[in-house]
Amino acid sequence: MKERSYKANLLIEGMAKKLNRQMVGSLVACVHCGMCTESCHYVLTNPDDPTYAPAYKADRMRKIFKRHYDWTGRVFPWWVGAKSIFTDEELEELKDISFGKCTNCRRCSINCPMGVDFATFNRALRGLLVSVGVMPEGVAVVSKDQWEIGNQMGVLPEDYIDTLDWLSEEMQSEFDDETAVIPIDKLDADIVYTINPREVKYDPRTISDAAKIFHIAGENWTMPSEGWDMTNFGLFSGDDALGGAVAIRVYEKLKELRGKKLVISECGHGYRSTRCEGPNWAGIDQDFIMESSVFTMLNYIKEGKIKVDKSKNTGSYTFHDSCNNARSCGLYEEPRELLNLVVSDFREMYPNRNENYCCTGGGGAMSMSEYTSRRLKSAKVKADQLKATGANIVVTSCHNCVDGLTDLIKHYDLKMEVKQLVNLVANALVIPEKITAPEVPTVEIKKAPLAGRKILVVDDEPDILVFFKSVLEDNGAIVFEASNGEDAISIALKEKPELMTLDINMPGKDGGWVFENLRRNPEIASTKVCIITGRPELRRLIYDRPVPMPEGYLDKPVDPDTLLFNVRKILEVG
C-alpha cells in the first residue's frame, strides 16, 4: 500500500472538522453538468484549459472527500472519481488550484442550478492547506502580521497613531479649527470607525476624507487605537481561528469604548469579514450595529447632515461591484444611490451587481505574487468590461478592488483612474460658512519638503532607480543610487544617508543581506530603512533577522504620492 505523507494525513483528518451539512451537500450534489464553467473569469481567458473550470477545481477536494467520507467513494472509488492524496507534491498541486486558480468570487456558486457553493468549500480547502503549512508565501506573511501585529500589513501601533495625528494636524490647518481632529479612543462615541491598514500605508487620503465628512456632519465619532483593522485575512486563508480572533479584536474594542455603532470603511473583504462572517467565525451572536461607511455617508446626505455639489466631481464614472459586497453581503444598490448623488455622469458596467466579474485581485490574490501573470491574464475580462463603459473613472467600495483594478488598468493601458466613494463625497462636500477650507485641500506637499535630506535608493531595476530619484529630488532630497547589495553598503558608509529605500529581491547580495549588514555596522546602524518590494512574501528575509525592524514597508508598484508620504513619515517631515 502507498505510504501517505504526514501532511497529507493531517489534511484528510482535518477535513472531518471542516465539514458541515451545507458543505457536504455541495460536495455530493454536483452532476458535472458544466453550467458553471463560463461564469468564471479564469475560464473565459483560458478557454482551452479545462483545469480552470469551477467543477474541475471543485473536484480536487470532492475526490478526497468521496474517498474518505462518502461510502460510494470508499466502495467504488474509480467509478465515482474518488481519489485520495498521498504526497506533499499533491498538496502543492492542490495549493496551486485552490489559491492560484480561484479568487473565491462566488460567481460560479450563483450560477449553479444545483446550488453547489464551490467558493465556500474552496475556502475550507484553503484552510486545510494552511493548517498543514502549505500556502503561498504571501499568505503566510500576511497571516503572521495579522496574528502578531494585529493588522494584515504589519503597521506598528506607533505608526498608526502617528499617521492619525499627522492627518489631524492637516485637518486642523485645513479648517483652521482646533476641533477638527480624528478622535482616538473616545468613550461613548456614536460611531467607532474601523479601516483597512492599506489606508494607513498607501492611501491616507481616504482616512482624511472620511474624517472631513464626519467632522462636517458633526458626528460624535472615534477611531480605536487597537482593533482598528476591519480586514481579516482569515477570509482568504480559510483559517477560521484567525478569522474569529481578528473579528473579536474589533468587536471587543467597540465594547470597551462603549461605542454605539461600528462603521466599516469601504472595503469588500473587510465588510464581509467583519459584518457578515466575523460573528460566525467567532461563534458569537451579533448584538450591536455594524454598517458600511457607504450607508453612513448616504444617510448623512439624505438627512441633510452634509451637503454635496456633484458638479465638483467632473469626468465620467462607472461602478465596480466588489464580489464580497455584492455576492456575499447584498451591498450593491446603496453605493449606486450614493454615487448618483455625487457625480453627474454615471455609466453602468455590464454585467453588474450580483453578476459582476471579480476585479481578479480578490481572494487574497494581490498578496500571492507567484500567480501575478495568471491573475493579469484573467483580468482581460474585467478590462473589457471597463473599456466598454467609456468612463474615465471607475469607482469601487473596496480597497482590494482598488489595487486589483489599478494593476489591471496599468497592464491593459486603459487610461482610467480608480476612486472610492469616500473620495468623491469628500470632494463634493459643500463646506458650511463657518468652517472655511483653504483653496488647496488636504495633503498638500510643501515646496521641497525633503530639502537637504540624504536618501539612498537601492534597487536592481534601472527604471525604479530613475523613478524614485526623480520623485525624491523633485522634493528637494539629495539622492544616491545603488543597484546591488555591495554598492549599497559602501555608499551608505561613505555618504551616511538618513534613509535607505531597499529592494529585497536583487541578484547577488539581496536586500536581506544589505539590511543585516547595515544594522550590524555601528557607523550606519541608525540609518532608517524602508523596504520596497514587489514580492511581499520575501519580507520574511527581513523578519527572520535578529536585528531591529525596518522603519517602513511598501509594496510595489508604488505611486509618487505614496512614496513621498511614506518617506516624509519615516523622516518625520511635517
Partner 1 sequence: MSESLHFAEHRLQEIALLVMACVYAIRIFWLTRYKAGRDRQMPTGPPDTNKKKGILYSLMNIMMPWAMESTRKHFIIYSQFIVFHLGVTFAILMSFLIPYAPDTMKPVWVIYLFQVVIGAAFIVGIFRIIRRFSKKVMRAISTPDDYFSLILITTWFLTAFLSVPNKPENGETIMIIYFWLTAFFLIYVPFSKISHYLYYPFTRYYLGRTMGHRGVFPLRGSRQSK
Hey, what's the cell of 196? 483597512
Short-list 44, 58, 48, CA closest to 106: 58
Q: Does 102 bind ligand SF4 (CB under 6 A)?
A: yes
Please, what is the minimum distance in Å from the beta carbon of residue 285 to partner 1?
Answer: 5
Work out whether 390 is an interface residue with partner 1 (CB under 8 A).
Answer: no
Tell whether omega for the bond before 557 is within 30 degrees of 0, i.e. cis.
yes
Q: How far is the CB of 26 from ligand SF4 (least distance, A)?
A: 8
59: region left, alpha or beta (phi > 0 left; psi from -120 to 50 alpha): alpha
Quick one: 205 or 272, whose CB is closer to partner 1?
Answer: 272
- What residues from 53 to 92 belong to the interface with partner 1 (CB under 8 A)? 53, 55-56, 59, 71-72, 76, 78-81
Please list the residues that pair with 393 across neighbouring strands: 317, 417
Q: From the CB of 23, what's the least distance to partner 1, in Å? A: 8
108 binds ligand SF4 (CB under 6 A): yes
- Cα–Cα distance measured from residue 331 to residue 333, given in angstroms and rounded to the nearest whole number: 6
In angstroms, give the least distance from the CB of 46 to ligand SF4. Answer: 11
Residue in 250, 190, 258 with CA at minimum distance from that of residue 221:
190
Radius of gyration (C-alpha) of the chain in whole angstroms: 24
Strands (DSSP E) found in 197-288: 221-222, 261-264
The only residue of 19, 30, 110, 549 in contact with ligand SF4, by rule CB under 6 A: 30
Stretch that binds partner 1, among 18-26, 217-225, 360-368, 544-552 (CB under 8 A): 18-26
Beta carbon nearer to partner 1, 56 or 543: 56
State the nearest-atom distance from the C-beta of 276 to ligand SF4, in Å: 16
Residues within window 342-361 making contact with partner 1, judged by CB under 8 A:
346, 348, 350-356
* Count of Cβ atoms closer than 10 Å to residue 407 Cβ: 21
331 binds partner 1 (CB under 8 A): yes
Residue 416: which of partner 1, ligand SF4, none does it interact with, CB under 5 to 8 A by kind? none
Tell me if 39 contacts ligand SF4 by CB under 6 A. yes
Would you count residue 6 as binding partner 1 (CB under 8 A)? Answer: no
Please give the C-alpha separations between residue 55 and each of 108, 116, 312, in angstroms, as whole numbers: 9, 10, 47
Cell of residue 258, nine digits: 462603549
Residue 487 CA to chain centroid, in angstroms? 34
Amino acid identity, residue 418? Answer: V
365: which DSSP letter?
G
Q: Does 126 bind ligand SF4 (CB under 6 A)?
A: no
Element (H, E) at 456: strand 454-458
Binding partner at 157 among ligand SF4, partner 1, none, C-beta below 5 to 8 Å by kind: none
With cell 476641533, the residue in question is 179
Among 114, 341, 431, 435, binds ligand SF4 (CB under 6 A): 114
Q: Is 333 in the site for partner 1 (CB under 8 A)?
A: yes
Q: Which residues bind ligand SF4 (CB under 6 A)?
A: 30-36, 39-40, 42, 54-55, 57, 102-108, 112-114, 116, 118-119
